[in-house]
Amino acid sequence: MGQQEDSKAGPLTRFLVDDHRRLDALLQSAAADPITIDQAAYEQFRAGLLKHIGMEEKILLPALQRLRNGAPFPHAVRLRLDHGALAALLMPTPTPVILATIRTILSAHNRLEEGPDGLYEASDQIASAEADSLIAHLGAAPEVTVAPHSDNPAVLKTLRATLGRAGYHLSDDEAVGETTIGVSNQEVPT
Ligand SMILES: [Fe+2]
Ligand SMILES: [Fe+2]
């Protein structure tokens, strides 16, 4: 994170990196006390991250593919797998292990988006004259209706499967509902 904070960053990069920073701050607030999660901060983070993922999945990635004459962004598969893993991690009641797992995934994920040749720089380069209308479209993205947390076995099974598909794994570090969760940093080919 933080590769694109100079003034040379394009408008799409600035807009989306600002949203990353806002979400980072909310996640940090939620986890400020290592034992008791700040629920209010976490719920803001949860709704904000789901909205951010929606902006990338429904607006940015399709626009980029269109501007690339139908060719998907090279890291699109990796980014979508991470989005699925992150959304699944937002389903159960949060625990310190869930928050740590989200932070680990986001750290690498945001580098792929913010870094050189990342999603945002590529978008700025190709969107050029269209950047302003794309930002207006992103800015008008709807708030996401967030479902209540659920720790039922079906949700935890989905979480386990979605993390597995994205190359992350469940560990025995700490109980989450009836199961356990952790994360590996293994690289997954894109
Ligand atoms: Fe993303
Ligand atoms: Fe992002």
| Structure confidence at residue 171 (pLDDT) | 52
What tokens appear for 49 in the block? 């991250």
Q: What angle do CA 149, 31, 79 make, to 5 degrees?
A: 65
Q: Please say if the pLDDT value at position 175 is more than 70.
A: no
Residues within 5 Å of ion ligand 2, judged at the Cβ atom: 113
Tens of pLDDT, residues 46-64: 999 999 999 999 999 999 9
Question: How far does the centroid of ligand 2 lie from the alpha carbon of residue 15, in Å?
Answer: 10
Question: Measured between alpha carbons, how far is residue 36 from residues 72, 94, 115, 148, 183 in Å?
Answer: 41, 10, 33, 19, 21
| Structure confidence at residue 128 (pLDDT) | 85
- Ligand nearest the Cα atom of residue 48: 2
Taking the complete model, does pTM exceed 0.85, yes or no?
yes
> Beta partners for 179?
176
Does residue 175 sit in helix, strand or coil? strand
Tens of pLDDT, residues 4-14: 455 689 999 99
Cα dihedral 154→158→161→167 (10° resolution): -150
Mean pLDDT of all residues in 136-147: 93
Does residue 11 sit in helix, strand or coil? helix
How many other C-beta atoms lie within 10 A of the C-beta of residue 63?
Answer: 19
Mean pLDDT of all residues in 88-103: 92
Residue 33 or residue 1, greater confidence: 33
Question: How far does the centroid of ligand 2 lie from the alpha carbon of residue 79, in Å?
Answer: 9
Local confidence band at 35 (pLDDT 50, 70, 90 cut-offs): confident
Question: How far does the centroid of ligand 2 lie from the alpha carbon of residue 24, in Å?
Answer: 11
Question: How far does the centroid of ligand 2 lie from the alpha carbon of residue 178, in Å?
Answer: 31
Residue 95 or residue 183, greater confidence: 95
Q: Please say if the pLDDT value at position 174 is more than 50.
A: no
| Structure confidence at residue 37 (pLDDT) | 95
| Structure confidence at residue 7 (pLDDT) | 60
Question: How far does the centroid of ligand 1 lie from the alpha carbon of residue 76, in Å?
Answer: 9
Mean pLDDT of all residues in 113-127: 94
Instruction: Tally the C-alpha atoms within 13 A of residue 140's C-alpha that lie toward its C-beta.
Output: 6
What tokens appear for 63 in the block? 């626009």
Mean pLDDT of all residues in 113-119: 94
List the one residue out of 39, 46, 28, 48 whose CA is nearest residue 147. Answer: 46
Q: Please say if the pLDDT value at position 127 is more than 80.
A: yes
Mean pLDDT of all residues in 16-27: 98
